[in-house]
């Protein structure tokens, strides 16, 4: 699990594809501290497994399903990537719960720079937009952000200068594609309200017994 608070940006040095996966070699520094084979690292919001590491970076494995549902196929050598190590027990949850399981891809519609914030508009498929609400949480390329507006197939986020200067958002332009992960809590709520078997298992008696 992650928080969506980016620790550093890394550089893609190599991408080696095969029939079932792509192994990515990423140059990094901060996230190497304490890293071990088998650990999870969020790379542009995609939870990847570390398969090798040295003093200059790490290699991570992306299986085909992950590749097909993220922007990984668009990454080129030299790509600037947002990096975050998985949460350790006792860490502060400063952003929101981010699983690193990308729901799909969004497209940047516009970027409007202001003195105090930069507003980015992103279009997303309907199956993703249904989970995006004003003042809710969204992860864009692994960055925990708050939704400012959500209308139709477009939502906007306001980026503070610190986030703008310490992530790879500066590389974006109109037409750029980004990884999107919606708030997992919204998906659980939908599951409850659409699963009749689950609803029928929760009774007033059971709620009272549980202390509600």
- Digit-coded pLDDT (tens) for 92-132: 778 888 999 999 999 999 999 988 999 999 999 999 999 99
Are 140 and 73 members of one domain?
no
Q: What does the block give as tokens for 91? A: 């860490």
Structural domain of 150: 104-192
Q: Would you say 114 and 85 are in contact if contact means Cβ atoms under 8 Å apart?
A: no
* Domains contained in the chain, number: 2
What is the chain's mean pLDDT, rounded?
91
Residue labelled with tokens 């507003």: 119
Q: Would you say 122 and 106 are in contact if contact means Cβ atoms under 8 Å apart?
A: yes
Are 55 and 121 members of one domain?
no
Q: Would you say 159 and 24 are in contact if contact means Cβ atoms under 8 Å apart?
A: no
Are 78 and 109 members of one domain?
no
Q: Which residues pair with 111 in a beta bridge?
A: 120
> Would you say residue 151 lies in a domain?
yes
Are 115 and 63 members of one domain?
no
Are 12 and 56 members of one domain?
yes
> Would you say residue 201 lies in a domain?
no
Alpha-carbon 39 to chain mean position: 17
Are 135 and 183 members of one domain?
yes
What confidence tier does 203 reach under pLDDT thresholds 50, 70, 90? low
- Among 23, 52, 85, the domain boundary falls at 85
- Among 56, 85, 114, the domain boundary falls at 85
Are 108 and 148 members of one domain?
yes
Query: pTM higher than 0.85 for the full model?
Result: yes
Over residues 150-161, the pLDDT tens digits come to: 999 999 999 999
Q: Which residues pair with 27 in a beta bridge?
A: 11, 57
> Would you say residue 128 lies in a domain?
yes
Are 113 and 182 members of one domain?
yes
> Would you say residue 202 lies in a domain?
no
> Would you say residue 203 lies in a domain?
no
């Amino acid at each position: 699990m992650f928080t969506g608070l980016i620790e550093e940006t890394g550089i893609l040095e190599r991408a080696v594809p095969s029939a079932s996966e792509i192994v990515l070699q990423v140059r990094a520094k901060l996230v190497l501290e304490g890293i071990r084979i088998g650990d999870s690292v969020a790379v542009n919001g995609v939870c990847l497994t570390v398969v090798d590491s040295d003093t200059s970076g790490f290699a991570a494995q992306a299986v085909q399903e992950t590749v097909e549902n993220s922007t990984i196929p668009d990454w080129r050598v030299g790509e600037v990537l947002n990096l975050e190590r998985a949460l350790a027990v006792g860490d502060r949850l400063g952003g929101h719960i981010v699983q690193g399981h990308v729901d799909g891809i969004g497209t940047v519609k516009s970027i409007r720079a202001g003195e105090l914030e930069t507003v980015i508009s992103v279009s997303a498929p309907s199956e993703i937009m249904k989970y995006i609400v004003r003042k809710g949480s969204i992860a864009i390329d692994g960055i925990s952000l708050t939704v400012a507006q959500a209308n139709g197939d477009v939502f906007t986020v306001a980026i503070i200068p610190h986030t703008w200067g310490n992530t790879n958002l500066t590389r974006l332009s109109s037409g750029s594609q980004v990884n999107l992960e919606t708030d997992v809590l919204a998906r659980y709520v939908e599951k409850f309200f659409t699963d009749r078997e689950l609803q029928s298992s929760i009774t007033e008696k059971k709620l009272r017994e549980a202390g509600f």
